[in-house]
C-alpha cells in the first residue's frame, strides 16, 4: 500500500489513483493537502473557471410511491402538505417563465402512482412548447426506470420516447449509495444500483448527457463511498456521458434518520476534494449551493468544485424541507460575487457546459450595413454646385485712412566730420550683420528642406515595403497590437485583481481571537469564526483550529482578502440537551453525540442473540436516559453506552492507529468495539495547543490482533515527526508480515482440505 507522499505525487503527475489510494488519502491526508491536490486537478480540467447557469426547477408532485428513510420531501396522497400539479398546471407554470433569461428547466419530483411514461412525455412536450429556447433536463434514473418498467418497454425505447418529446439531459439523483446492503436499509424500494447505472449507460450510448450523484453523510462507510465513486468512474470509462458529479449532503431535518444528524463542514470539504481527485474522467464537480449554503459553497471552490448550479429562483423544496435554506434563490450578481470572492472567474453555461455569451443576440435581426451606400438624389433636384471660395476683402477705410497733418520740423544742425565718419562705420557694421543673418537663414532653410526630403524618403520606403510585402507587414502589425494588448491586460490584472499577490496563511492556533484578528488585519485576511468548542484546559477565545490550515512542510498561500475560518474555545461551557441515542447502531449514536458536543465515557458490551453494535441503552452520570428524558449537561460530558454483540462475534480486531490524530484514533477505537484506556503524551508535546497536533506513535494492543469487545486500548502520542515516521514504517512492516502470515495460513488450510478430500 502506498503512503500519502507517493499518492500525492501520483495525483500531481495527473495519474489515476486506486481505491486503496483513495481510502488512504481520505483517512490520513491533512485537509490542506486534499485541497491542494483537488485544486490542481480542477485547474487541469477547467482552469480558473467556475460555472453557473440560469435555471428553474419544476417539481410536479411530492407524492411518491417510495418511502426512503432519509427523505424529507416525500408525502402520501391525502397528506395536508402534499401537492400535485396537473399537466395544465405544469404548462401554465412554464408559460409564466416566458420572456425570462433562463436556459434550463430541471424537472424532478416524487414517483407518483398515477404518472405513466406517456404522462411524463406529455409533460415535457408542454414545457417545450411554452419554452422552445430552453433545454429540459428531466427525471432521475429512479423515475425513468419505474415509468419504463410500468410501460413494459425496454430502457432504450423508453428513453427514445422521452428524447422525441424534448428531453435533452438527465439529472443525477436517485443514486444515493450503490452498496446493496446499505441500499436495503435506506431506500429498499428504489431500483437497484445496477438498474440505475443501466439507465445512464443507455442514455450515454444514445448521446444523452447526464449527471451523477452520491448522498453522503449518513450511515455509509468510507469504503462504501469509494466503491460508489469507483462504479461511476468505470461507467464513464465504458460509456462516457457524465457531465458532472454532485456530492449531495444528507440534511437531517424531518425524516426518519434525523437522529443521525449531519456531518461536519470539514467532512464536506474532504468529500468534495476526494470526488475531484478520484473522478479523473468526469469533467466537472458541482458544489450544489442549495444543499450547502453560500459560505460552505464558497469554501468548496478551494477543494476542487468548478460548478455551483444556478439561480434556482426558489423553485425547489427537496432540500429546504430537509432543513436547508427555506427560500433558495441567488441572482446572477450574487452567484458571480460568490465565485469572485473565492478567487475564481465566474462563467455562465448552458445545460451542456457551453459558455453563454450575454449581449450577443443570436436571433436573426436587421442590422445596419457595415459600408453604407450613398443615398441617391431625386432626378428633379439638380445637384447643388458648391459656392466658390471667396477671399476676405480688405476694408477701404484702412486704405483711405486720413493721416494727421504734419507740423513743420525744426531745422537740423549739420553733423561734424567726426560724427559723419562714426555714422558711416555704424551703417557698414549693420549691413555686415544683416548679410550674415540672411546667409544663416538660407542655410537653416536648406537643412530643413533636406530633413523633410529624408523623412519623405523613409515614409516612401515604409509604404513601399508594405505594398511589396503586405502579408509580412500585417503579421508584424498584429504582433505589435497583440503585445500591446497583453501588456494592457497584465497591468489591468495587477491593478484590478491583485493577480500574482499571495499571502502565507499564519498559524492562528493557540492565539487569542483578538490577537488573531489583529494579525489578520495587518496581513489583509478576513477572519470568520465558524464554530466553537469547550475545553476546560484552554482559555476562552483561544483558536483551536483553522481552515485553511498551515503546514510544517511548506507555506500555505492565499490571495489578499481571502477568508480564514476559525474554531475557537468558548468562554463558558454551554449546556446542551442529552439526545436519546439508544435503539440505533453504534455509528449512528457516536455521530449524534459528537454533533451535540458530547463524548463517550465507556462502551459496555452485552451478549445479544440478534445483532452486533446496536445500542441497547445509555447512561449519563449514572442516570439512564429514556426517550422522554429532558435534561441538559455541559458540553464534553461523557455518555456510557451499552452495546450488543452476538456470541459468535465476541472478539474484535485491533485497528492500526499509528499516525492518526487523537480524534481519528478515538473514532477508530470505538468503531472496532474497544474503549480508550490511558492517553499519554511524550515530552515533544509542550502545551495544550500542541496536543491537537500530536499523533499516535504507539498503542497498547498489537494491531490486527483479536481481543474481546470492550477491551481498553491505551494511546501514546507525540509531535516528533522523526519518531512518527519511524513508527509508521514499523507499523507498515508489521502489517505486511501479518498479511503474509494470514495468506500462508489460508494456503495451508486449503492444502489440508485438499489432502482430506483425497
Higher pLDDT, 424 or 76: 76
Higher pLDDT, 643 or 467: 643
Structural contact between residues 179 and 220, judged by C-beta atoms closer than 8 angstroms: yes
Closest CA to 604 of 639, 638, 642: 642
The mean-pLDDT minimum among 373-377, 517-521, 695-699 falls in 373-377
> Bridge-partner residues for 383, per DSSP?
none
Q: Are residues 161 and 58 in the same domain?
A: yes
Structural contact between residues 642 and 616, judged by C-beta atoms closer than 8 angstroms: yes
How far apart CA 200 and CA 183 sit, in angstroms, is 19
Domain closes at, from 348, 367, 392? 348
Tens of pLDDT, residue by residue over 500-514, are: 577 888 888 888 888
Q: Are residues 71 and 152 in the same domain?
A: yes
Question: Measured in whole angstroms, how far is the alpha carbon of residue 111 from the centre of its chain?
Answer: 31
535 three-class SS: coil
Q: pLDDT value at position 392?
A: 38
Q: pLDDT value at position 393?
A: 38
Q: Which triple of cell numbers denotes residue 535? A: 475545553
Question: Does residue 700 belong to any structural domain of this protein?
Answer: yes
Tens of pLDDT, residue by residue over 158-176, are: 999 999 999 999 999 999 9
Residue 83 has pLDDT above 90, yes or no: no
Give the residue-averaged pLDDT of 603-615.
Answer: 84
Q: pLDDT value at position 362?
A: 42
Give the residue-averaged pLDDT of 257-279.
Answer: 90
Q: Are residues 149 and 162 in the same domain?
A: yes
* pLDDT tier, 444 (very low <50, low <70, confident <90, very high otherwise): low
Q: What is the CATH number of the domain that holds 617?
A: 3.30.10.20
User: What letter would DSSP give residue 241?
Assistant: -
Q: pLDDT value at position 371?
A: 33
| Average pLDDT of every residue of the chain | 81
2 three-class SS: coil
Q: Which triple of cell numbers denotes residue 569? A: 474555545
Q: What is the CATH number of the domain that holds 173?
A: 3.20.20.70
Closest CA to 558 of 502, 627, 491: 502
How far apart CA 643 and CA 665 sit, in angstroms, is 20
Q: Are residues 330 and 470 in the same domain?
A: no
Domain closes at, from 618, 649, 680? 649
Q: Are residues 284 and 327 in the same domain?
A: yes
* pLDDT tier, 395 (very low <50, low <70, confident <90, very high otherwise): very low
Tens of pLDDT, residue by residue over 32-65, are: 999 999 999 999 999 999 999 999 999 899 888 8
Q: Are residues 121 and 261 in the same domain?
A: yes
Q: Which domain holds residue 470?
A: 466-500
* pLDDT tier, 748 (very low <50, low <70, confident <90, very high otherwise): confident
How far apart CA 312 and CA 310 sit, in angstroms, is 6
Question: Does residue 692 belong to any structural domain of this protein?
Answer: yes
Higher pLDDT, 302 or 591: 302
Q: Are residues 496 and 513 in the same domain?
A: no
Q: pLDDT value at position 185?
A: 87
Tens of pLDDT, residue by residue over 526-581, are: 888 877 777 766 778 888 888 877 766 567 777 788 888 888 887 776 788 898 98
535 φ/ψ sector (left φ>0, alpha ψ -120 to 50, else beta): beta
The number of distinct structural domains making up the chain is 5
Question: Does residue 191 belong to any structural domain of this protein?
Answer: yes
Residue 443 has pLDDT above 80, yes or no: no
Q: Are residues 625 and 483 in the same domain?
A: no
* DSSP E strand stretches across 499-631: 503-504, 526-533, 543-547, 557-558, 563-569, 575-577, 599-607, 615-620, 623-624
Task: Tell me the three-class secondary structure of 110-162, residue by residue.
Answer: CCCCCCCHHHHHHHHHHHHHHCCCCEEEECCHHHHHHHHHHHCCCHHHHHHHH
Q: Are residues 318 and 343 in the same domain?
A: yes
**H/E run at residue 309:** strand 307-312
Tens of pLDDT, residue by residue over 695-709, are: 999 999 998 899 999
Higher pLDDT, 620 or 402: 620
Backbone angles phi, psi at 677, to 5 degrees: -95, -125
Q: Are residues 507 and 612 in the same domain?
A: no
Q: Are residues 633 and 551 in the same domain?
A: no
Q: Are residues 607 and 696 in the same domain?
A: no
Q: Give me the DSSP letters along 77-99.
A: TT-TT--B--HHHHHHHHHHTTT
Residue 637 has pLDDT above 90, yes or no: no
Q: pLDDT value at position 674?
A: 92
CA angle 81, 82, 87 (to 5 degrees): 140
Give the residue-averaged pLDDT of 93-115.
Answer: 91
Q: pLDDT value at position 640?
A: 94
Residue 436 has pLDDT above 60, yes or no: no
Domain closes at, from 594, 617, 649? 649
Amino acid at each position: 500500500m502506498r503512503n500519502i507522499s507517493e499518492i500525492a505525487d501520483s495525483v500531481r503527475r495527473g495519474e489515476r489513483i486506486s481505491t486503496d489510494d483513495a481510502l488512504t488519502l481520505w483517512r490520513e491526508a491533512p485537509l490542506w493537502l486534499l485541497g491542494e491536490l483537488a485544486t490542481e486537478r480542477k485547474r487541469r480540467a477547467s482552469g480558473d473557471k467556475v460555472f453557473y447557469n440560469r435555471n428553474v426547477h419544476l417539481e410536479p408532485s411530492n407524492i411518491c410511491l417510495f418511502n426512503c428513510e432519509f427523505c424529507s420531501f416525500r408525502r402520501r396522497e391525502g397528506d395536508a402538505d402534499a401537492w400535485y400539479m396537473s399537466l395544465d398546471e405544469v404548462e401554465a407554470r412554464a408559460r409564466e417563465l416566458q420572456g425570462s433569461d433562463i436556459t434550463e428547466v430541471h424537472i424532478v419530483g416524487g414517483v407518483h402512482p398515477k404518472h405513466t411514461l406517456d404522462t411524463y412525455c406529455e409533460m415535457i412536450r408542454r414545457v417545450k412548447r411554452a419554452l422552445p429556447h430552453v433545454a429540459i433536463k428531466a427525471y432521475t434514473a429512479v423515475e425513468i426506470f419505474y415509468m419504463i418498467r410500468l410501460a413494459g418497454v425496454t430502457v432504450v425505447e423508453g428513453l427514445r420516447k422521452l428524447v422525441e418529446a424534448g428531453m435533452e439531459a438527465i439529472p443525477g439523483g436517485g443514486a444515493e449509495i450503490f452498496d446493496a446492503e446499505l441500499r436495503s436499509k435506506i431506500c429498499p424500494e428504489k431500483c437497484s444500483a445496477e438498474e440505475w447505472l443501466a439507465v445512464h449507460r443507455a442514455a450515454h450510448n444514445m448521446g444523452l448527457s447526464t449527471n451523477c450523484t452520491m448522498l453522503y453523510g449518513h450511515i455509509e462507510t468510507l469504503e462504501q463511498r469509494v466503491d460508489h465513486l469507483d462504479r461511476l468512474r468505470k461507467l464513464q470509462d465504458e460509456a462516457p456521458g457524465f457531465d458532472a458529479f454532485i456530492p449531495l449532503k444528507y440534511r437531517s431535518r424531518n425524516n426518519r434518520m434525523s437522529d443521525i444528524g449531519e456531518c461536519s463542514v470539514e467532512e464536506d470539504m474532504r468529500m468534495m476534494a476526494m470526488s475531484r481527485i478520484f473522478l479523473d474522467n468526469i469533467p466537472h464537480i458541482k458544489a450544489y449551493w442549495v444543499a450547502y449554503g453560500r459560505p460552505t459553497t464558497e469554501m468548496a471552490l478551494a477543494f476542487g468544485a468548478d460548478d455551483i448550479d444556478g439561480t434556482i429562483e426558489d423553485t425547489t423544496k427537496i432540500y429546504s424541507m430537509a432543513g436547508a435554506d427555506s427560500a433558495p434563490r441567488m441572482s446572477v450578481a450574487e452567484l458571480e460575487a460568490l465565485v469572485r470572492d473565492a478567487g475564481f472567474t465566474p462563467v455562465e453555461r448552458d445545460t451542456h457546459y457551453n459558455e453563454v455569451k450575454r449581449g450577443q443576440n443570436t436571433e436573426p435581426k436587421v442590422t445596419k450595413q457595415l459600408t453604407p451606400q450613398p443615398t441617391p438624389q431625386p432626378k428633379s433636384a439638380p445637384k447643388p454646385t458648391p459656392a466658390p471660395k471667396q477671399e476676405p476683402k480688405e476694408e477701404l477705410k484702412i486704405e483711405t485712412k486720413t493721416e494727421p497733418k504734419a507740423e513743420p520740423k525744426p531745422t537740423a544742425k549739420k553733423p561734424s566730420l567726426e560724427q559723419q565718419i562714426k555714422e558711416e562705420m555704424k551703417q557698414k557694421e549693420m549691413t555686415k550683420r544683416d548679410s550674415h543673418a540672411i546667409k544663416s537663414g538660407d542655410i537653416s532653410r536648406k537643412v530643413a528642406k533636406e530633413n523633410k526630403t529624408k523623412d519623405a524618403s523613409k515614409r516612401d520606403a515604409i509604404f513601399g515595403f508594405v505594398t511589396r510585402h503586405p502579408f509580412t507587414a500585417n503579421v508584424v502589425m498584429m504582433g505589435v497590437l497583440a503585445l500591446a494588448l497583453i501588456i494592457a491586460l497584465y497591468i489591468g490584472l495587477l491593478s484590478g485583481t491583485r493577480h500574482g499577490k499571495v499571502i502565507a496563511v499564519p498559524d492562528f492556533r493557540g492565539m487569542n481571537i483578538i490577537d488573531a484578528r489583529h494579525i489578520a488585519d495587518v496581513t489583509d485576511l478576513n477572519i470568520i469564526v465558524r464554530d466553537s468548542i469547550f475545553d476546560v484546559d484552554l482559555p476562552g477565545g483561544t483558536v483551536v483550529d483553522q481552515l485553511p490550515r498551515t503546514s510544517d512542510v511548506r507555506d500555505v498561500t492565499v490571495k489578499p482578502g481571502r477568508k480564514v475560518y476559525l474554531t475557537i474555545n468558548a468562554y463558558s461551557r454551554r449546556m446542551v440537551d442529552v439526545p436519546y441515542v439508544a435503539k440505533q447502531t453504534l455509528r449512528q449514536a457516536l455521530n449524534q453525540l459528537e454533533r451535540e458536543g458530547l463524548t463517550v465515557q465507556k462502551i459496555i458490551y452485552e451478549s445479544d442473540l440478534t445483532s452486533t453494535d446496536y445500542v441497547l441503552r445509555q447512561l449519563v452520570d449514572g442516570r439512564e436516559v429514556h426517550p422522554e428524558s429532558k435534561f441538559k449537561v455541559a458540553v464534553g460530558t461523557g455518555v456510557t453506552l451499552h452495546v450488543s454483540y452476538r456470541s459468535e462475534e465476541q472478539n474484535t480486531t485491533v485497528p492500526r492507529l499509528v499516525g492518526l490524530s487523537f480524534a481519528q484514533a478515538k473514532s477508530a477505537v470505538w468503531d472496532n468495539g474497544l474503549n480508550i484506556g490511558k492517553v499519554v503524551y511524550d515530552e515533544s508535546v509542550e502545551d495544550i495547543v500542541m496536543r491537537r497536533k500530536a499523533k499516535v506513535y504507539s498503542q497498547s494492543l498489537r494491531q490486527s490482533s483479536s481481543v474481546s469487545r470492550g477491551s481498553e486500548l491505551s494511546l501514546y502520542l507525540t509531535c516528533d515527526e522523526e519518531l512518527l515516521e519511524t513508527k509508521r514504517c514499523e507499523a507498515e512492516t508489521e502489517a505486511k508480515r501479518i498479511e503474509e502470515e494470514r495468506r500462508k495460513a489460508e494456503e495451508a488450510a486449503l492444502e489440508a482440505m485438499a489432502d482430506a478430500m483425497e
